[in-house]
Chain A
């Protein structure tokens, strides 16, 4: 019996990485349109167009429950694609929306999801210019697949981090993943945990306008597999070491408490409204200030720097000053049992 697809294959960790490299990339042949292509496994592709670049990306969204504390699948679908464009350095121009709906879904649910998509797209703003709708017999509730195109003056890849650069995050880490898991596990806290799902183009734009695209060396939205995966990808693709200080990584106290109860690191779970930026050292303070002036970036922080040693690895200086590697999670983290 041959190997079967398991949930871990889609969880954003090492197992998924293997699937992408050994199966998908190996099977497909035409993978680049002249710019960053599929082989780069970046957040999106780039296509040179005159003196600019078209950035093209797609993202399928499956989330249970469809409505969760702090958001819903509609907001997630628009934000996810807008953010993939944003971290490539592209202004979102237009979105496409494909919905696969399970038979029996309440019409009212569909309407709520669409209203949420509408509100989120106005927030960016970005129009939804084309779409497709399918209904299937399987009880899937609904899947939302969004594609987006954007225009970048200077695309930002994951591979541009340079020794000496400074690393910033635009706000508290772990909100989305821990909120969803606590919700599913039925863990209640005095303060409700909320997903951070939001489009973050305005944060990226504010920084770029302040320090210039040329000083923004690498960017990622730390979605699946979280901050640890995003940093490891940058370290690996840029062939640099990364040192982050645990004490400087912003985490909400309620997220920390819940993550300890679940036995899951907040660094390993998805964020849906955050950006990790690697900027030239001399511009770090300006970038931080620009981020903090935006509503979504008000808790932004400098968390570390790019170093020469340990190329391809991320080193975490712990709260008590010890050091260890910050490894990417292997697959979707599951709550600790025993």
Chain B
């Protein structure tokens, strides 16, 4: 069967209409409104691109959580990496820095990686950390650093690459880890009393952590969850299931994305991540310090992270966001981009004020690109 055939029912307009009818029916007997949070930029893309919010009844609210790893990467880390580049140059060493296309443009009070490049530093955009690895092999006399943001989906290849580098003894390959844990991040939001009635779990993150990686959220906080794929009907199905589960008080994790996600997840990836990384407290830009949500290399591998090789002084009290930017509230699911006074006026993808407008996975960027109508 071709991919087309597998995917077809998940895009079928008639099936979608039936799902929407059922959602409307279930919503009639809801006590007030339900706030469903998703935590993945690609889900936001599906929702906005296919106009899902325009089809939902008023009391079914789908909000976007902190699903954009690039958006929540701390200002301090971006600045620290820039300072490391400068310090290395002062010491007569040239670092090649790689990162992803959307990370490249994220603004900070001290500029972006793109600004650093325009000053003549060697900053390159890569598609994956594997490109960095190849670059390190091609440039044995230079240190090649990958500034590495991302949730579990991106942490897995980083761990795999670290494994290869350790096995080969490749000495000029380094990372700067700003990896984060998704379910643990959401737990902090719940503890901080963000209102989340139900969760659409990120499909790709789930391929790594499995169904079991999310279960503690239902057990501890009574929140129903559905792991969903990325086609419009995947999301509509998840919404329908979540409304029903919420009404029945059925707090567990349902796997709608069975074509990709297993109960136990990718155990090989989990082992590698656990071998090389330890869990630490970490800052989420615009959200604050989230205990137990960051990943740093373990003791014996520490010198593979460039931040442990160069000590730099990051200025204190760097503001996370420009005045008035609602990125923090957007990431908490408390506001939609259209609530922000800057959105589409002073803040556009060409002149972004906040990180949510820069990243391809940022809610503001997606809203702007597709023009939201609901």
Contact = CB atoms under 8 A, between A and B. Distances in A.
Contacts of B154: 338
B4 A322 contact: no
A336 B11 contact: no
Contacts of B48: 324
Contact of A319 (B20, B126, B232, B369): B232
B55 A321 contact: yes
A338 B70 contact: yes
Contacts of A321: 13, 16-17, 20, 51, 55
Interface in A223-261: 247, 253, 257
Contacts of A325: 370-373
A322 B125 contact: no
Contacts of A338: 70, 100-103, 150, 154, 359-361
B1 interface: no
Given A319-B50, A320-B233, A337-B127, A247 B371 contact: no
Contacts of A320: 11-13, 16-17, 20, 50-52, 55, 232-233, 236
A121 B364 CA distance: 47
13 contacts: A315-B373, A317-B51, A320-B236, A321-B16, A321-B51, A322-B55, A323-B374, A324-B51, A324-B372, A325-B371, A325-B372, A325-B373, A336-B360
B139 interface: no
Main SS of the interface on chain B? helix
Name, among A257, A317, A325, A337, the residue most crowded by chain B CB atoms within 10 Å (CB to CB): A337
Interface of A is mostly: loop
Which 7 A/B pairs are nearest by Cβ-Cβ distance? A322-B51, A325-B371, A337-B101, A320-B16, A338-B100, A324-B51, A318-B50
Nearest to B16: A320
Interface in B67-108: 70, 100-103
B349 interface: yes
A317 B359 CA distance: 26
Interface string A308-338: 0000010111111111111100100010111
Given A319-B50, A321-B55, A330-B350, 17 more contacts: A313-B371, A318-B51, A320-B12, A320-B17, A320-B52, A320-B55, A320-B232, A322-B50, A322-B51, A322-B54, A324-B50, A325-B371, A325-B372, A336-B101, A336-B360, A337-B126, A338-B101
Nearest to B149: A338
A168 B313 CA distance: 61
Contacts of A253: 4
Contacts, number: 90
A319 B9 CA distance: 12
Contacts of B137: none
A15 interface: yes
Which residue, A263, A313, A316, A326, has most C-beta atoms of chain B within 10 A? A316
Contacts of A327: 368-371
Nearest to B348: A330
A325 B373 CA distance: 7
Nearest to A337: B101
Contacts of A336: 101, 360
B54 A324 contact: yes
A145 to B, nearest CB: 29
A321 B56 CA distance: 11
Contacts of A257: 3-4
B49 interface: yes
Contacts of B53: 322
Contacts of B4: 253, 257
Interface string A189-206: 000000000000000000
Nearest to B56: A322
Contact of A324 (B49, B100, B360): B49
A324 B50 CA distance: 8
A321 B14 CA distance: 9
B54 A15 contact: no
A337 B69 CA distance: 13
A323 B371 CA distance: 10
Nearest to A325: B371
Contacts of B233: 320
Interface string A7-37: 0000000010000000000000000000000
A31 B52 CA distance: 46
Interface string B1-36: 001100000011100110010000000000000000
B125 to A, nearest CB: 6
A323 B54 contact: yes
A139 B369 CA distance: 36
Contacts of A313: 371
* Residue of A15, A253, A316, A338 most packed against chain B (CB within 10 A): A338
Interface hub of A321, A325, A336 (most chain B Cβ within 10 A): A321
Nearest to A333: B369
Interface centre among B11, B50, B53, B359 (most CB of A within 10 A): B50
Contacts of B16: 319-321
